[in-house]
């Protein structure tokens, strides 16, 4: 089995579609699965906090998102494993990791950070302006974690999150929808929409303005990064850039306050 991710190319996926191993069923199942797992994970944490006497358990659970996010990743990886096996492939095919190209993938990942931040920050500013009337982002809904949680958020969360999220939306969904829908435009639109929608429930908060802001702000970056993947078919650089940005954000917001 090739190590270069060739089993996740458009040509291979088209062969799977012709053989009947790849249908709409798989992508349709996965499209909003990550959002569903997010609600379940937060509900579990909120339930535990409620049993401990919290009167605002859903809001309190949001603080622990970087920790319980691993439950979301675990659910996604299990479902991806099942769906890819049904096609006759392996989960690692989605990542397409090639140790011979790691140096180039690392460099490409680092180079992706600057344009990614432009789309991320631009999306945040535009969504804030549309929803709140100001380009400044609203205050973070995530609070301070105990030191062990902050360390987990910096050392573990970014790696698992970056890899799993990229495998879900780019490695699995985008190329398969492109094939079964026979349209790159439909693939980009559906994946960007579902990828952006997940932010509405990460975490769940019963606030219409918050939901609109969280839905709109990731759209520019989601479109950009899906197009990058469909053009390059290299997932490792995208996971590296994603993990690095999440890690830096977690460090500044969760660990740095402990070090000052």
Give 227-259 pLDDT, tens digit per residue: 999 999 999 999 999 999 999 999 999 999 999
Helix (H, G, I), strand (E, B) or coil at 233: coil
pLDDT over 70 (residue 104): yes
Give backbone dihedrals phi and psi of 180, rounded to 5 degrees, phi first: -70, -30
* Secondary structure percentages of the chain, helix, strand, coil, to 5: 80, 0, 20
Q: How confident is the model at residue 189 (pLDDT cuts 50, 70, 90)?
A: very high
Do residues 226 and 192 lie in contact, with contact meaning Cβ atoms separated by under 8 Å?
A: yes
pLDDT of residue 2: 42
What's the whole-number mean pLDDT along residues 71-86?
96
What's the whole-number mean pLDDT along residues 186-208?
95
Q: How confident is the model at residue 93 (pLDDT cuts 50, 70, 90)?
A: confident
Q: What's the CA gap between 19 and 80, in Å, rounded?
A: 20
Average model confidence (pLDDT) for the chain? 93
Q: What's the CA gap between 260 and 253, in Å, rounded?
A: 12
pTM of the model: 0.93
pLDDT over 60 (residue 16): yes
List all residues 6 or more positions away from 252 whose beta carbon is below 8 Å from its beta carbon: none
Q: How confident is the model at residue 122 (pLDDT cuts 50, 70, 90)?
A: very high
pLDDT of residue 191: 98
| Residue 111 token pair | 């180079």
pLDDT of residue 6: 53
With CA atoms as reference, report the closest residue to 219 among 187, 185, 196. 196
With CA atoms as reference, report the closest residue to 168 among 230, 243, 237, 76. 76
Q: What's the CA gap between 161 and 234, in Å, rounded?
A: 17
Q: What's the CA gap between 255 and 170, in Å, rounded?
A: 30
């Amino acid at each position: 089995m090739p190590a270069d991710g060739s089993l996740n190319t458009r040509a291979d996926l088209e062969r799977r579609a012709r053989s009947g191993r790849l249908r709409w069923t798989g992508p349709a199942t996965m499209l909003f699965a990550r959002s569903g797992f997010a609600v379940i994970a937060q509900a579990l944490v909120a339930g535990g906090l409620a049993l401990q006497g919290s009167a605002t358990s859903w809001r309190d659970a949001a603080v622990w998102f970087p920790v319980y996010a691993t439950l979301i990743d675990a659910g996604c990886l299990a479902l991806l494993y099942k769906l890819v096996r049904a096609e006759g492939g392996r989960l690692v095919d989605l990542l397409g990791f090639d140790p011979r190209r790691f140096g180039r993938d690392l460099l490409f990942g680092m180079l992706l950070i600057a344009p990614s931040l432009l789309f991320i920050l631009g999306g945040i500013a535009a969504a804030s302006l549309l929803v709140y009337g100001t380009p400044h982002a609203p205050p973070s809904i995530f609070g301070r974690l105990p030191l062990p949680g902050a360390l987990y958020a910096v050392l573990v969360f970014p790696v698992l999150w970056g890899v799993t999220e990229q495998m879900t939306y780019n490695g699995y969904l985008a190329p398969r929808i492109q094939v079964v829908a026979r349209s790159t435009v439909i693939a980009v639109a559906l994946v960007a929409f579902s990828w952006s929608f997940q932010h509405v429930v990460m975490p769940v908060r019963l606030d219409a303005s918050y939901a609109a802001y969280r839905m709109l702000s990731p759209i520019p970056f989601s479109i950009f990064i899906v197009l990058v993947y469909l053009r390059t078919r290299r997932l490792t650089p995208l996971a590296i850039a994603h993990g690095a940005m999440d890690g830096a954000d977690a460090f500044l917001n969760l660990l740095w306050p402990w070090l000052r």
